[in-house]
Homo-oligomer: A and B are copies of this chain.
Amino acid sequence: MAKIIISCAVTGSAHVPTMSDALPITPEQIADQSIAAAEAGAAILHLHARMPEDGRPTGDPDVYGRFLPVIRQATDAVVNITTGGAITMTVAERLAAAARFKPELCSLNMGSINFAFFPAARRISSWKHDWEEAYVRNSDDYIFRNTFRDIAYILETLSDAGTRFEHECYDVGHLYNLAHFLDRGLIKPGFFVQMVFGILGGIGADLDNLMFMKQTCDRLFGKDSYQWSVLAAGRHQMPFLTQAALLGGHVRVGLEDSLFIERGVLAASNAQQVEKIRRILAEMGHEPATPAEAREILGLKGGDRVEF
């Protein structure tokens, strides 16, 4: 059966340190958990950076520079740098690290949506760091900005470096946006769709939606012209990944997407989630793709052509 690519999104920017002690913050933690995730079977590591002292999301390339080479030396996994950044950054700030390090893969969000996680504040009474509470609560007024002009700018800027994209699609309209860029020739067949479920503001975490997103891709793009993967927020992570695999898709785990390993139990690490999805895939007869196989499937430029 076809190999399945496991991506691992190691820390992201929506969760705050208060929510889980396992969330990697410092460059050392990010490197350690990334390497362990790769050893557990993740072929792609999707990375954000955080300020080492308080876990605040940052787009500063210098902070990225403290973990990217460490990861590269220890593992062959594909490094995927976010261009989504965090809700406090401009598009230019979001793009800085990817532009400097020219990775094989970057995330690219295919539309603007409300991206909200304020309801999480209700469950927290004391916060580790002073920035966290306002950061979480103000997400009720946050728009994750990705205009058509922004998307064209990112595509043009990074494509020159041979970087390809994990096209994050948070709703059905984002697939149509992707089709718009296909028509304009800024995206080419063989692209990689990352469907996102369960973010407040995006399409909800009902499996009917996964089925419909997949059917819509087939209708808009044609069955054989794209690769696809699924991530889902929180407790929806494993069920959605399982269904994705049943339908022929790839999967993304990681503490960016869910802090849990099972209902009510925090994950000890990113690697623990990689191991879990790997066991599920094995029961279904699937093997995880190696980094080399992932590069082949996604048509990546190669781990030796990055600048870190």
Contact = CB atoms under 8 A, between A and B. Distances in A.
A157 interface: no
A148 B208 contact: no
A287 to B, nearest CB: 12
Interface string A226-266: 00000000000011001100110000000000000011000
A219 interface: yes
Interface size class of A (residues with CB under 8 A): 35 or more
26 contacts: A111-B114, A112-B112, A112-B143, A113-B113, A113-B173, A140-B149, A141-B147, A142-B147, A143-B147, A148-B200, A171-B172, A172-B203, A172-B209, A172-B212, A173-B204, A176-B202, A176-B203, A180-B200, A207-B211, A208-B215, A208-B216, A212-B212, A242-B246, A243-B243, A262-B285, A279-B283
Interface string A266-297: 00000000001001100111000000000000
Interface string A170-193: 111101110110000000000000
Nearest to A141: B149
A218 interface: yes
Contacts of A209: 172, 216
Given A112-B112, A172-B204, A208-B216, 18 more contacts: A113-B173, A116-B147, A140-B148, A141-B149, A141-B150, A143-B145, A171-B172, A171-B203, A172-B203, A173-B201, A176-B203, A208-B215, A212-B212, A238-B284, A239-B246, A239-B284, A242-B246, A276-B283
A201 B172 contact: no
Interface of A: 1, 111-114, 116, 118, 140-143, 145-150, 152, 170-173, 175-177, 179-180, 200-204, 206-209, 211-212, 215-216, 218-220, 238-239, 242-243, 246-247, 262-263, 276, 279-280, 283-285
Given A219-B206, A239-B246, A263 B1 contact: yes
Mostly helix, strand, loop or mixed at chain A's interface? Answer: helix
